[in-house]
Amino acid sequence: MNGFDFDLTGARLSALRSGALHWAGEGCLAVSDLHLGRSERYARRAGALLPPYEVEETLARLDADIAACRPRTVICLGDSFDDAEAGALDDRAALWLARMMAGRRWIWIAGNHDPGPVALAGEHLAELALGPLVFRHEAVPGATGEVSGHFHPKVRLAGRGIPCFLVDRARAILPAYGTYTGGLFAGDAALCGLMGAGALAILTGRAARPMPMPRGRNGP
C-alpha cells in the first residue's frame, strides 16, 4: 500500500502516499479537501483558465485508493467542492462518483468552502465520532483523537512544496487530496500551535515518508 502506519489514541492508521488515510480496523478511508471544480470556479470568478482535468485526476486517485483498500466507509473531510456552485458535476464525473459510493457508507463533512454537497447521496454531517476518533474539517485546539484537514499542510524539500500529513499523539491533519490545491507550510505558526512536540510530517508522493515536522519558517 506504500503507507506509513502510526497509532492515534488506540487506532492503528496508515497515511497513504496518495494523501488518503486508511483505518483498516474500521474499514474506513478518509480524504480531505478534494476541491472538485476548482478550474471551473477560477474561470467563473476570475476569468483565469486552468486545464479542466482536476476532477478526473482527483476521482481517478480516489477510485484507485478505494479499489486497493476496499473500505466499508469513506469520509470526505470537507471542502469536497471548491464552492457551492462547483457541486454540479458533468454526467461522466457524477456517474463515476456514484459508482464509487455504491454499496458503502459515504460521509460528507461540511467545510468552509462548501456546506457539503447536499444534492448528492450520502450522509451530510458537521463532524463524525467513530470509536476513539473524531473526524472534522478544521482542527480544534486541545482536541484528542482528532482527524482533520483544512490547512493543506506541506513541507519544502529541494525547492518544492510537498503535501504532507501532520501527526502527533493527539491528532492527524491530512493533506489536500485534490489536484490544483495550494498549501500551508508546516512551519507556519497556525500549524506549530496545533501540533505537539515530536510531531511528524509524513510526505506524500512516491512513498509515504516520515520526517520531523519542521518548526519555524519553512519556505515563503
User: Per-residue DSSP letters for 58-83?
Assistant: HHHHHHHHHHHH--SEEEE-S--BSS
pTM (2 d.p.): 0.90
pLDDT per residue over 126-150, tens digit each?
999 999 999 999 999 999 999 999 9
Q: Looking at the domain covering 3-212, what would its CATH class be? A: alpha beta
Mean pLDDT for all residues in the chain? 88
Candidate from 41-50, 123-132, 188-197 with smallest mean pLDDT: 41-50
- As given in the structure block, the three cell numbers for residue 169 are 499523539
pLDDT at position 52: 54
Which of 155, 174, 165 has its CA nearest to residue 31? 174
**Cβ 95 vs Cβ 129: under 8 Å:** no
pLDDT per residue over 71-130, tens digit each?
999 999 999 986 555 445 788 888 999 999 999 999 999 998 666 666 788 999 999 999
pLDDT at position 145: 98
Q: State the maximum Cα–Cα separation within the chain, in Å, rounded to a whole number.
A: 48
**Cβ 120 vs Cβ 146: under 8 Å:** no
DSSP, collapsed to helix, strand or coil, labels residue 134 as strand
What are the boundaries of each domain within the chain? 3-212
pLDDT at position 126: 94
pLDDT over threshold 60, residue 51: no
pLDDT per residue over 142-174, tens digit each?
999 999 999 999 999 888 899 999 999 999 999
**Strand-pair partners of 75:** 30, 107
pLDDT at position 49: 44
Main-chain phi, psi angles of 62, to 5 degrees: -65, -40
pLDDT at position 125: 95
pLDDT over threshold 70, residue 180: no
